[in-house]
Amino acid sequence: MSTTARIPLVESGALVKAMNWFTQRAYGTVMEPALGLAHNRKVLLSSMRFQRSVEKWDAADDSLKHLATLAAAATVGCSWCLDFGYWVSHNRGMDPAKLEAITTWRTSDVYTDLERRVIEYAEAMSTTPLTVTDGMVARLRERMSDAALVELTAAIALENSYSRTNAALGFTSQGFKEQCELRPARA
């Protein structure tokens, strides 16, 4: 368990036991931010229900949402979210070169024009104060529907909530990314 968290991790109770069972099955480990949120059952359960409903959104391209949420996590500075986001994106087939270059996207040649626009928008939404411009939104609307833009915006806003919560409570990388880089042993 994390020694960097600013709040103790809840390690007992029926809800925690059930949650740990689920996260072990789904992600291969106990999710430390969930153990922190377990101090407030209503916050934890609301967050879990909302995340399950978010997974059903389908107006925006998933790869664009993955890049946007990674860019938001990087801008906020949440190592836990970057780590987990990399793992999720990698396991859903994202190009590892695009995941690796998220913090150097301005100089990287791995992104399409639309991906650059999305990453720029995610960064602008994740700064304080916001630096989103009319031009950014107009350029995105040239390439995606309004429904997709609304969904992308909501996904970035949600990642800002997760990243700011996790960073404020001191949650750091749990090693998800390293699992992506494991290679089979040679015979």
3-state helix, strand, coil in the chain (%, to 5): 65, 0, 35
Reply yes or no on whether the pLDDT at 176 is more than 70: yes
Report how far apart the first and last C-alpha atoms of the chain are (Å, whole number).
33
Reply yes or no on whether the pLDDT at 178 is more than 50: yes
Reply yes or no on whether the pLDDT at 53 is more than 50: yes
Place of tokens 């009319």: 134
Separation of alpha carbons 90 and 172, rounded Å: 19
Q: What is the pLDDT of residue 1?
A: 56
